[in-house]
């Protein structure tokens, strides 16, 4: 079993049981305790687990929704590769929606400063960067701004989306899976995300592989509403196949 496969199994066990213990994992996986500890350390560095004495706990048990600052530096290389592939899908001279989130923000950062584009966003961080792009027509959604994510939400935001039709929506998510679709902890943010999905001709999910299998309280899209999942190359083949069977094309950067 490869390290990625072991770590996926560890995460599945952690989510099912609420925690994992080193001793039980050595028996389950047929590896040494040192190997298990290395896997737990790798998963903690990726932000998926929190190490505790004798084992680990999935982060969703400890923190309902990490802040933007807490997520910004996690998996920066993977998010950069995802953003680079997403950049190929940006229609020069066209219109896009860019959702709030750290991976979608990596796409904003990668945009050429001279690109001609109409951008709709509810992200304060994205709007701050794009305001310095002279050829970008920036449409920032109004509403209440959530301090945890820097995203505008509420009726002002969802009403503005009612009659929009854009070329591509670049979406973020807290978790995604074939069974649960795309989910997020906050209802108000979920409603805006659902509006983004409805407003776009093509919907592209930008999400690192650690979010695969996670499910939060509010679903804003099913996988058959997503045209393309752009993730990183740590997503196992069987997980990619499950996603593809549910509807979208899957590209691993």
pLDDT at 35: 95
Q: In terms of domains, do 143 and 215 share one?
A: yes
**CA separation for the pair 194, 109 (Å, rounded):** 24
Shared domain check, 196 and 88: yes
How many distinct structural domains can be found in the chain?
Answer: 2
Whether residue 80 sits in one domain with residue 25: no
**Domain boundary, last residue among 62, 88, 110:** 62
Q: How many CB atoms lie within 10 A of CB 68?
A: 20
Residue 15, pLDDT score: 82
The percent of the chain in helix, strand and coil, each rounded to the nearest 5, is: 45, 25, 30
pTM score = 0.77
pLDDT at 39 (0 to 100): 94
Written as six digits, the tokens of 210 are: 């650690």
Same domain flag for 30 and 95 = no
The pLDDT, as a whole number, for residue 59 is 76
Mean pLDDT by groups of 10 residues along the chain of 253 residues: 88 85 93 94 86 82 58 80 97 97 96 96 97 96 93 96 97 92 94 98 95 86 98 92 96 96
Range of the domain at 22: 3-62
Cβ partners under 8 Å of residue 161, min gap 6 = 141, 192, 195, 196, 198, 199
pLDDT value at residue 111: 97
Q: Are residues 223 and 100 in the same domain?
A: yes
Among candidate residues 33, 62, 91, the one where a domain is terminated: 62
SS (H, E, C) 155-216: HHHHHHHCCCCEEEEEECCCEEECCCEEEECCHHHHHHHHHHHHHEEEEEEECCHHHECCCC
231 plus 119 within the same structural domain: yes
* Domain identity same for 82 and 144: yes
Q: Please indicate, yes or no, whether residues 129 and 246 belong to a single structural domain of this protein.
A: yes
In this prediction, residue 52 carries a pLDDT of 78
Partners of residue 55 on adjacent β-strands: 21, 52
In terms of domains, do 159 and 35 share one?
no
Domain C-terminal end among 44, 62, 80: 62
Q: 């509006």: which residue's tokens? A: 195
**Residue 64: per-residue pLDDT:** 52
Which helix or strand (DSSP H or E) is residue 81 part of?
Answer: helix 76-87
Phi–psi pair at 178, nearest 5 degrees: -60, -35
Answer yes or no: do 92 and 55 share one domain.
no
Among 172, 230, 231, residue whose Cα is nearest residue 197 = 172
Cα 37 → chain centroid = 26
What is the domain-level CATH number for residue 19? 1.10.10.10
pLDDT for 41: 92
pLDDT at position 198 is: 98
User: Residues 76, 117: one domain?
Assistant: yes
Query: CB of 120 within 8 A of CB of 99?
Result: no
Residue 87 belongs to domain with CATH number: 3.40.50.1360
pLDDT at 123: 97
Residue 241, H or E segment: helix 237-245
Note whether 15 and 102 are same-domain residues: no
């Amino acid at each position: 079993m490869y390290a990625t496969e072991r770590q996926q199994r560890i995460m599945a066990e952690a989510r099912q049981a609420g925690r994992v213990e080193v001793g039980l994992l050595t028996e389950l996986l047929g590896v040494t305790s040192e190997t298990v500890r290395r896997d737990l350390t790798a998963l903690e560095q990726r932000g998926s687990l929190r190490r505790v004495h004798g084992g680990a706990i999935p982060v969703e048990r400890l923190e309902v929704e990490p802040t933007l600052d807490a997520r910004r530096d996690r998996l920066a290389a993977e998010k950069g590769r995802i953003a680079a592939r997403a950049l190929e899908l940006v229609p020069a001279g066209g219109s896009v929606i860019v959702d709030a989130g750290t991976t979608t923000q990596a796409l904003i950062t990668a945009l050429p400063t001279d690109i001609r584009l109409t951008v709709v966003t509810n992200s304060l961080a994205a709007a701050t960067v794009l305001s310095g792009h002279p050829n970008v027509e920036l449409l920032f959604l109004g509403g209440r701004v959530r301090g945890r994510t820097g995203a505008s939400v509420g009726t002002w935001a969802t009403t503005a989306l009612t009659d929009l039709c854009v070329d591509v929506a670049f979406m973020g998510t807290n978790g995604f899976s074939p069974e649960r679709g795309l989910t997020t902890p906050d209802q108000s943010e979920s409603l805006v995300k659902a509006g983004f999905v409805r407003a776009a001709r093509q919907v592209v999910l930008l999400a690192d592989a650690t979010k695969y299998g996670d499910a939060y309280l509010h679903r804003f899209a099913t996988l058959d509403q997503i045209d393309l999942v752009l993730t990183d190359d740590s997503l196992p083949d069987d997980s990619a196949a499950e996603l593809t069977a549910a509807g979208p094309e899957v590209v691993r950067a």
